[in-house]
Structure 1
Amino acid sequence: MLTAAAVAFAVAVVSVICWFLVQEKLYNEVDSRLATLIKVRPYSVTDVAGLLSDCPQTPAVQGTIRGPQNSPYYYQLVQANGRYCLSGGTAGAIKVEAGDKDMAKDPDPNVGRYRNGTDSDGNPVRVLTTAVPIEGPVPVYPGVARMAALPLQDTRNTLNELALLLLGVSGVGVIGAGAAGLWIARAGLKPVDELTRAVEHVARTEDLTVRIPVEGDDEIARLSESFNSMTAALGESRDRQAQLIADAGHELRTPLTSLRTNIELLARSEETGRAIPPDDRRALMTSVKAQMTELAALIGDLQELSRPDAAQSGPVKVVALHDIAESALERARLRGPELTINAELEPWYVPAEPAALERAIVNVLDNAVKFSPPGGSIDVVLHRGVLTVRDHGPGIPADELPYVFERFWRSPSARSLPGSGLGLSIVARTVQQSGGDIGLRPAPGGGTEATIRIPGVPTPPPADTP
């Protein structure tokens, strides 16, 4: 409809302009013929006076003054009072208007007045009114003007036929443009219809495996690619969510089962009155506390991972990475008092959320403490924004390195140790949210080296001024 309307407007404008141009051209041709018709030699005063005296009001077979004879032309003289006298031609009289009277009152040999008018029978004519040139010292005859006219019926018929032709061509053009626009719209919007059906199908069935065929490289193709990418990302997100729930259920089942068993033993002892030996009771209570701690840690890790990737637990600000690393080192020394932790920390300031960044560094140090042998050492270096944590433990096999940052993944050799398998996943996400990256690799001479890179500056930025 928009295409048809636009074409109709354009065709209408062009048709109107064309019609007026043709009309002007035809009228110019008629005016040229009138100018040629009225070009005669000056009249004598006697001839003009005689014609005004006789003043014929009906066409004569022969004209009395140099007008065209026996022709369809109109030719007459007009006085200032509006009285006209036919002076040639056989077509009839021309209706006199006020402008013709004004020309007779003040004749000017250099002025000609063209207009559309009618004859005495009401037929359309093209009229030229000029002064009457005469021989003698006075160039024009005072109080009199001459009028010549040509019939306009043929010209108007031509213009009417042209109008009908333009109207027909315009109608065909508009109908054709509408049909072409409809076909183009349907063909061009077919991918949009497919996209709409796909979206409705996804909304109705939650089937994220739907894909739209992509053809070409236009906007519709880009939209289809974006939809396919979106459904693929949503499908992967849902799969990860389902996997997270399954893994979380699996990880929660073990401490809950052990906790339930220990509590049932304690409850049965109370119900039956059969006391549990003190050493066994202390072991049970220690196990219950450890399982509750593990369960609380696991729930905390799950809450951390449940936050959207773009969310932050606190405001982001410029913090001293070396100070945060030092605070994390103090906690690590408490957890591994038998270990030697060597630290070389250079100043480095980064934009990050302080609590999340400290928790990430603590997780990395916890892994180093956990896998370091008794009496071993851990080397921590912060140099130009690169924080390196190196332990001297058994290391990570090369075939397991691609999986270390996956949720709930644990090395077969570490499954007997405490932990949920979520620590490094939280570390990776926190570092990435700060604009950095993290990597693990086997350290020369044994052990594992964790590297954290976060963009920043070695000097504190100037404080904000109000």
Structure 2
Amino acid sequence: MTLRSRFALAFAAIGAVVAVLVGALSYRAASDRVLAEIDRTLRSATVALAHAQEQGQQPLSSEVIAQAPELFPGPDRPGPGDEPERRLILQAVAVDGSATRVGGPPVTLPVSDAGRNLAASGEAGDTDIAEVVVAGRTYRRLTTALGENRGALQVAVQIDQTRHVLGGMAREIMAVSLAVTLVAAGAGRLVAGRITRRLVRLAEVAEKVSADGRGRFGTSDLPGGRDEVGRLSTSFSRMLGRIAAARDAQERLVHDAAHELRTPLTSLRTNATVLRRVAELSPQARDRLLEDVEGETGELAHLVDELVELALAGGHEEVEESVELAVVARRVARRVYRRSGRLVHVDADDSVVRGRPQGLERALGNLLENAAKFDPDGDEPIHVHIHRGAVTVSDRGPGIDADDLPRVFDRFYRADTARALPGSGLGLAIVRDVAEAHGGTVSAGPRPGGGTRIGFTVAGSRVQPGSGTD
């Protein structure tokens, strides 16, 4: 079932419930009011008859009863155009329960147990109202006790016409309720169509995206607006943009990785071909061949390791925590010294940032190892400066050409002067990904007096208050 149909059914159900409730309450109110008016007439007749008896100081007689219709006003008072059945039926009930018709149409009303009890022992003014059927006609009967062993008086009026009117009213209410339900269903379908139209367009775009194996899609046909659907469309558009960017980045990484892996693999394949004739080689040629194989294997392993690091650098698997950058820098400096023998001077404040400790350590380690690689025999230590979440590494190496500065953080990019050195061109790309994952940026430039100054920052909101003041 479509969402539009569900909306229509929901509107129809709500309309039906409201119409039925309103109709039932209206019918109940009308019925109660009509019957209350009839009961008022019956009580008025009873009071008038009892008053006539008291004035005459005589037992209730047919003569007194016959004069009762002239003693009170009311809607059921006989008049021009009234049917005889609408006249009041007057009946006296003796103490023993016997009934005597004393006025009105020739109809004998049955006496119920409640009427007998009122006639025999009821207090003056006690009443009982009931509806009885006599000869196929319905009457509303009021029995009133006269007290002091005087029996009771019954006054009744035919209500078939009233029931017919109320039945017609009930049928009209049912017809109106059905019409309201149909109108509510139609209005619900119309409104649902307007509401779901943009959702349908959004669903169509989502289906196109899921069916597009190449991941090429546009978002120009997404619905806009400031309501919930518009916000959903905006969020969905942003999500699609991120998916497209991630897909493009993935394709670039795959192409770049394939390009970089092709060189060592080609060299290894060539050396493997030569190894088939190893018996024909001189000892010196064999040694050079084995050294070449070992070097290419090492480069290949290093490239694979950096590809793994690059894939993990932008991930969110690592839990963020408070990281003291000075402690990380000193730990990385000791590791670089063990590996390369280069001294690293750390000048750091007490900056504490919220971030991923392994990612930050990897980024700082790549900067220091890069500096040690390009300045292996430098007399001056490598300098690390940390201030309020900004990390800068300075060396006295050959520096970076101005033409290469915009691309030093690109994946697999290597300047012409660095192609003879070991490396894959992924170290600084990892630094950039770590910085961006922490809301920061990267920078690179010449160092006054020669060398390079390169580093990264984290977002200011990640620097904990009170840190970075030393």
Q: TM-score, normalised by structure 2?
A: 0.79
- Contact kept, 8 Å, 1:392 with 1:448, in 2: the verdict is no
- Contact kept, 8 Å, 2:384 with 2:392, in 1: the verdict is yes
- Contact kept, 8 Å, 1:348 with 1:457, in 2: the verdict is no
- Contact kept, 8 Å, 1:371 with 1:393, in 2: the verdict is yes
Residue 159 of structure 1, CA deviation: 0.4
Give distance in 2, aligned partners of 1:191 and 1:310.
34
Cα 1:441–1:431, aligned 2, differ >3 Å: closer, same or farther? closer
Aligned partner of 1:184 in structure 2 is 191
Aligned partner of 1:67 in structure 2 is 68
- Contact kept, 8 Å, 2:378 with 2:396, in 1: the verdict is no
Aligned partner of 1:365 in structure 2 is 368
Q: Which residue of 211, 219, 222 maps to 1:204?
A: 211
Give distance in 2, aligned partners of 1:33 and 1:308.
93
Cα 1:399–1:91, aligned 2, differ >3 Å: closer, same or farther? farther
Deviations 1:129-161 (A, max 9, x none): 2234xxxxxxx5524111112221221121011
Aligned pairs for 1:39-438 within 5 A: 39-40=47-48, 41-43=51-53, 47-48=58-59, 65-68=66-69, 72-90=87-105, 92-118=107-133, 120-132=134-146, 142-208=149-215, 209-211=217-219, 212-262=221-271, 264-265=273-274, 267-268=276-277, 270-271=278-279, 273-275=280-282, 278=284, 284-307=289-312, 309-312=314-317, 321-333=325-337, 337=341, 341-346=344-349, 356-372=359-375, 375=378, 377=380, 378-383=382-387, 385-396=389-400, 401=405, 403-431=407-435, 435=438, 437-438=440-441
Give distance in 2, aligned partners of 1:331 and 1:412.
28
One-letter amino acid of the structure 2 residue matched with residue 177 of structure 1? A
- Contact kept, 8 Å, 1:350 with 1:457, in 2: the verdict is no
Give distance in 2, aligned partners of 1:398 and 1:155.
103
Give distance in 2, aligned partners of 1:408 and 1:397.
17
Structure 2: 5+ residue stretches without partners: 1-8, 71-77, 79-83
Aligned partner of 1:55 in structure 2 is none
One-letter amino acid of the structure 2 residue matched with residue 169 of structure 1? V
Give distance in 1, aligned partners of 2:320 and 2:65.
109
Deviations 1:260-283 (A, max 9, x none): 445545654x34x3526x4x6655
- Contact kept, 8 Å, 1:191 with 1:220, in 2: the verdict is yes
Cα 1:130–1:201, aligned 2, differ >3 Å: closer, same or farther? same
Cα 1:145–1:370, aligned 2, differ >3 Å: closer, same or farther? same
Secondary structure, in 3 states, of the residue corresponding to 2:386?
strand
Residue 357 of structure 1, CA deviation: 4.0
- Contact kept, 8 Å, 1:348 with 1:456, in 2: the verdict is yes
One-letter amino acid of the structure 1 residue matched with residue 443 of structure 2? L
One-letter amino acid of the structure 2 residue matched with residue 36 of structure 1? S
- Which one is further off, 4-13 or 32-41? 32-41
Q: Which has the higher contact order (CA 8 A, sep 6+)?
A: 2
Residue 97 of structure 1, CA deviation: 1.5
Residue 356 of structure 1, CA deviation: 4.7
Aligned partner of 1:18 in structure 2 is 26
One-letter amino acid of the structure 1 residue matched with residue 161 of structure 2? D
One-letter amino acid of the structure 1 residue matched with residue 129 of structure 2? Y
Give distance in 2, aligned partners of 1:2 and 1:351.
49
Give distance in 1, aligned partners of 2:407 and 2:158.
99
Give distance in 2, aligned partners of 1:153 and 1:364.
102
One-letter amino acid of the structure 2 residue matched with residue 130 of structure 1? T
Residue 384 of structure 1, CA deviation: 5.0
- Contact kept, 8 Å, 1:380 with 1:387, in 2: the verdict is yes
- Contact kept, 8 Å, 1:328 with 1:362, in 2: the verdict is yes
Give distance in 2, aligned partners of 1:116 and 1:250.
100
- Which one is further off, 315-324 or 165-174? 315-324
Q: Tell me if 1:448 matches 2:448.
A: no
The Cα RMSD (Å) is: 3.4
Secondary structure, in 3 states, of the residue corresponding to 2:248?
helix
Aligned partner of 2:74 in structure 1 is none
Give distance in 2, aligned partners of 1:343 and 1:204.
54
**Aligned sequence identity (%):** 30
- Contact kept, 8 Å, 1:67 with 1:75, in 2: the verdict is no
Give distance in 1, aligned partners of 2:330 and 2:429.
22
Deviations 1:199-219 (A, max 9, x none): 333333425305342132333
Aligned partner of 1:462 in structure 2 is none
- Which one is further off, 161-170 or 410-419? 410-419
Residue 17 of structure 1, CA deviation: 0.9
One-letter amino acid of the structure 1 residue matched with residue 267 of structure 2? S
Aligned partner of 1:58 in structure 2 is none
- Contact kept, 8 Å, 1:63 with 1:89, in 2: the verdict is no
Structure 1: 5+ residue stretches without partners: 52-61, 133-139, 460-466
- Contact kept, 8 Å, 1:385 with 1:456, in 2: the verdict is no
- Contact kept, 8 Å, 1:81 with 1:101, in 2: the verdict is yes
Cα 1:7–1:400, aligned 2, differ >3 Å: closer, same or farther? farther
Cα 1:345–1:263, aligned 2, differ >3 Å: closer, same or farther? farther
Residue 84 of structure 1, CA deviation: 1.2
- Contact kept, 8 Å, 2:325 with 2:352, in 1: the verdict is yes
The number of equivalent residue pairs is 434
Residue 401 of structure 1, CA deviation: 4.8
Secondary structure, in 3 states, of the residue corresponding to 1:177?
helix
Give distance in 2, aligned partners of 1:410 and 1:225.
39
